[in-house]
Chains A and B, each alone.
Chain A
Amino acid sequence: MLAVASGGGHWEQLMMLRPAFAAHDIRYATTDPAVAQRHGIEGAAILPDCNQHTPIKALACALAAMLLVLRIRPHVVISTGAAPGFLCILAGRLVGARTLFVDSIANADELSLCGRLSKRLAHTCLTQWEHLAGDAGPSYRGALL
């Protein structure tokens, strides 16, 4: 499986989900090599950082995500955001992976843009705020803080 998160809060939250991946053959991907090292993870793939306001970087990231996914062929792709993680989820869908997006605990009022896109484009989208959950998604199963 592939677990992806941008450096910073997104990555911190992914690390708190690590027990869920324990028994599995897992590759990590992030935007900052130093954060993976900090948690003792070797061989993390590094993706270019991007967001909705940096279309050229987003294109570069989408390409990198596609190449990564084609190389490792994950059965499951999970991301806690942000855009690079979401792009890996899209790439994952193209190779038939099951995909899960977990919206950051930071988004207490509304889902992030990637969260909103994941409602439709990932198999499952989770919010960490119960009042944001809905029948059409996202689902709520608890919060990390």
Chain B
Amino acid sequence: MILVTVGMQLGFDRLIRAMDALAPQLGMPVVAQTGNGTFRPLNMDIRDRIAPDEFEALAGQARLVVSHAGIGTVLTAQRCGTPVVLMPRRAGRREHRNDHQLATVKALEGRPGIFVAMDETHLPERIEQGLALIEWSPGRSGTAENLVASVAQFVETGRL
């Protein structure tokens, strides 16, 4: 099963359209969380919204997550050990308020389990790469502990 998601805030018709066109060739069920999108897919199991519990369960069961470039989805996919293909929303297409998703994908590209499709034309190739990924584990941030410790220090003392 492949899980497609556009996040909790805005629709992302460009991604949903592209995945709907690809779904018949993928050889497995595709579940798509479409949010506030207007395009109605024909070839995917559609959900407007998926509750966090269920989303986590689906992400764990999925062979692959295909998503807008939202950090929530990246963190969930990595936590579940599921590869993720990210397609950034573009401000120029009014898919988001700014282009920070572009910055996000450029910064995360190449990390274990993270694939970037800059636009829908790259989706088929990235999906194939994601599905082919077998022996892998998510990278661990070497600095996360330090960040948590600094925040703890702030809570204790009011200073970093």
B154-A124 in contact (CB<8A): yes
Cβ-defined partner of B155 (8 Å) among A13, A21, A129: A21
Residue A34, interface by CB 8 Å: yes
Known contacts A108-B103, A129-B107, A141 near B141 by CB under 8 Å: no
Residue B42, interface by CB 8 Å: no
Residue A114, interface by CB 8 Å: no
- Interface readout for B119-152 with A: 1 if CB under 8 Å, 0 if not? 0000000000000000000010101111111111
Query: How many A-B contacts at CB < 8 Å in the complex?
Result: 131
B97-A142 in contact (CB<8A): no
Report the bound CA distance from A21 to B155 in whole Å: 7
Across-interface contacts of A118 in B (CB, < 8 A): none
Across-interface contacts of A53 in B (CB, < 8 A): 97
Instruction: Enumerate A85-101 residues with CB–CB distance to B below 8 Å.
Output: 98, 100
Known contacts A51-B97, A53-B97, A108-B104, A8 near B151 by CB under 8 Å: no
Residue B46, interface by CB 8 Å: no
Across-interface contacts of B51 in A (CB, < 8 A): 34, 38
- Interface readout for A75-118 with B: 1 if CB under 8 Å, 0 if not? 01010000000000000000000101010111111101000000
Cβ-defined partner of A38 (8 Å) among B52, B74, B102: B52
A9-B70 in contact (CB<8A): yes
Band of interface residues on A: 35 or more
Report the bound CA distance from A145 to B141 in whole Å: 5
Residue B92, interface by CB 8 Å: no
Q: Total interface residues on B, using CB and 8 Å?
A: 43
B154-A13 in contact (CB<8A): no
B144-A143 in contact (CB<8A): yes
A141-B160 in contact (CB<8A): yes
Chain A nearest CB, measured from B74 CB (Å):
7
* Residue of B78, B102, B139, B158 with most partner-chain A CB within 10 A: B158
Instruction: Enumerate A122-145 residues with CB–CB distance to B below 8 Å.
Output: 123-124, 126, 128-129, 139, 141-145
Report the bound CA distance from A35 to B75 in whole Å: 14
- Interface readout for A12-23 with B: 1 if CB under 8 Å, 0 if not? 110011011100
B71-A12 in contact (CB<8A): yes
Across-interface contacts of B159 in A (CB, < 8 A): 124
Could you tell me which A residues sit within 8 Å of B by CB distance?
A: 1, 7-13, 16-17, 19-21, 24, 32, 34-35, 37-38, 51-53, 76, 78, 98, 100, 102, 104-110, 112, 123-124, 126, 128-129, 139, 141-145
9 contacts between A and B (CB under 8 A): A12-B75, A20-B154, A105-B104, A106-B70, A109-B100, A110-B100, A142-B144, A142-B148, A144-B144
